[in-house]
Structure 1
Amino acid sequence: MKGSVYKRPNGWEFRHDIDPDPLTGRRRTTSRGGFATKTEANREMRKSILAHEEGRRVDRSRRTVTEFLDEWIVAVRPSLRPSTWSKYRTYCDSYIKPVIGNTALQELTPVRINLLYAHLLTSGRRHQRTNQGAGLSPGSVAVVHRVLHRALRDAVRWNYLVRNPSDDVERPKLDRRVPTVWTKEQLRTFVDHVRGDRLYALYLVAITTGLRRGALVGLRRHDVDLDAGTLSSSRPRIVVDNKAVDGEHKTDSAYRPLVLDPVTAKALRVHVDRWEQERTEFGFTTDLLFCWPDGTGIHPDTVTDWFQAHAKSAGLPVIRLHDVRHSYATAALKSGVHPKIVSERLGHASVAFTLAYYSHVIPGMDAEAAGAIAGLILGTGETPEDTDVRGSVRTEAETPLIDEEE
């Protein structure tokens, strides 16, 4: 196939032959423009020619990015979790379509996508709060990239594009965010402060198991086995379009049963007794364990608001409810609990993820391990007792709060 590259007012353009019209045999060509340099136009022309020769034919179209995304978001909905789909739609509507939505899909280039990311980082925030900059965080722009890359990948599969232009962009660089956590003393202070609260058991479960917010709010009566002292979240409650709905856990391991420590098990028993009394009194049929007295489900965001209000009134640093999960993991790792056990209790997909995410905890553990191993080999210190990891799985879970009840 023959082709040429031309300089246009808006950049460089290529044009090359494609298969002749099957009916008339007349010559046909395809073109694409908007390239910053001649070299880039030549490279894309060679890719286009190769794609046609391999049988992947992309018909010329003036379909815009907005038109494509509107089609795409409907098509992918059955394959996504409701919360993921809602996030994809929000990012498309809020950050992609307002900036590059009028661009023809086939004229979308890596340069234009890079400019989109630069714009979002400097002035992309739609609702600016006090002490917030005008730009989105690198993390938010990274989500924009994931959404756009996924959409354009599907455009290639649907033969709307020859290749994915987001493959060649400069991805936003993320700063490693160390989770904000409470110390053991701060966790105890919070527990003392909420001891008489209606959701005392929920807060205690969060602190002593590290369950995610959705799993906490979504706990059902049948999820808790008071005789065995275990709980297993069957279906979390998540927020989609500001509404609380039933969702799915992120990983299969999140459905694991968790052994409860005696303090938490006792608090849950008290809560269940009150729940059953209210169920009889009000006649509600819901099986949600943490609900209003009439059985109405509590919105997850409401639980977060209450949690943060309690933290403030207790004189503690105000953190996210999800940061209690990080506090649990950090305390467990620092106390010497085997990372595999911590990973399983948190419901992570692998212990590798746990170690990578909580790498900020590892340096102190590494120093302790160095001294212990040297002492064992060189006889310069006390030899730590052997630990049976399997035994730690079978025994009852411990909690730093246990001494408060004895």
Structure 2
Amino acid sequence: MMEDDYGEHEEDDFQIVEEIELDYDEDCNELAYAVEDLGVDGELTENDDDLVIQRDDSGLTFTKHSESVFAVDFDPSSRSHIVSGGEDNRAFVWKISDGSVKFLCDGHKDSVTCVKFSHDSKYVATGDMSGLIKVWSFTTGVEIWSFETSDLEWLLWHHGAHVLFAGTADGEFWMWKIPDGACKTFQSHGPKTTCAHLLNDGKRICVGYGDGSLKLWDLKNANYMFHVSGNYAHKTSTTCIDVNENYTLLASGSEDGILKLTHLGNGKVLGSIEAALIQEGDLSIESVAFCSILPVVLTGSLSGKLGIWDLTNQRIRQQCEHPAGVTKILCEGGMIFSACLDGILRLWDARSGNCEREWHGHSAPILDMAYSRLDACVFTSSDDKTVKRYSLAEPCR
């Protein structure tokens, strides 16, 4: 595509699909979980507003944090370690096999909300709410670089180079070469930047903003290739984004429960769907993901709905019910993992929408999760101050 094709569009260059009326098929799978089913033999108690579950399906529990654990990531190279960050202003790098601490990432000024390994596990990045970002050598545990921005919203590594990205509450996002710190800044148009996704080509990044708009940026030139704004943008803050495998489609969710599908080639909005599946309450879509083996896109919302949406007709294919809000979803092949405010991790079949498995153990909401494909393990962090390891190979208790 020629460079001119990526310019900022006038309003008449866009054509938005009409709002879709959801048509629920009678055979749509709707699973309901009664509160008494959350514990063993229906036992569920309440203690200081936290769930107390009399069952633990995890193979390992990491307990070094003294407050809520907001973020977790695993090292993609050796697959031997986890990094976790929490409200206690600390991050730990620790061993997957036994939970022993390799090193402590200290010196943060506020809650550590972002933790990421570089693509080759050479570096670990940790970022706190105040905007202090630190990079550590995985081998030695020594801090090798740091930088202070405004309040931090997100943090991610390039998937093929030692390049770090961060988005901030003042609307700018940054790109640094690590460890020398060579920097490039991508300017704000006003609102904060809330989420981002680096495309597989490593040359473009999709960014969502607090005003509901979306931009596709060219990293080399620091120019945006399109800007979805105005009536074509979300009406509330963009919360999450994902891109399909052939880089043609961008899915974005918002605080008011709307899923938008945008063409990555020209920035035209192809669909707008009421994905929260309810009309009141907390509708925010917290996570969105494409499925690699089916023509569907997935949404998880605080309404407790996991929606499996057909990309062909943009209608609901399966609706998966949770007793509480969904905080994050991951899709691996035909498997969908959903993390929930009830502290339970669930596994769903993407084709049928059936719940195939549940892992209990957390006594408070799950806030983040990471999946190790080769080890078939899921790591979940929680408000209960722990990180747990769940294995697909191990039977639930």
TM-score by length of 1: 0.18
Q: Which has the higher strand share?
A: 2
Q: TM-score, normalised by structure 2?
A: 0.18
Determine which structure has the larger helix proportion and give its number: 1
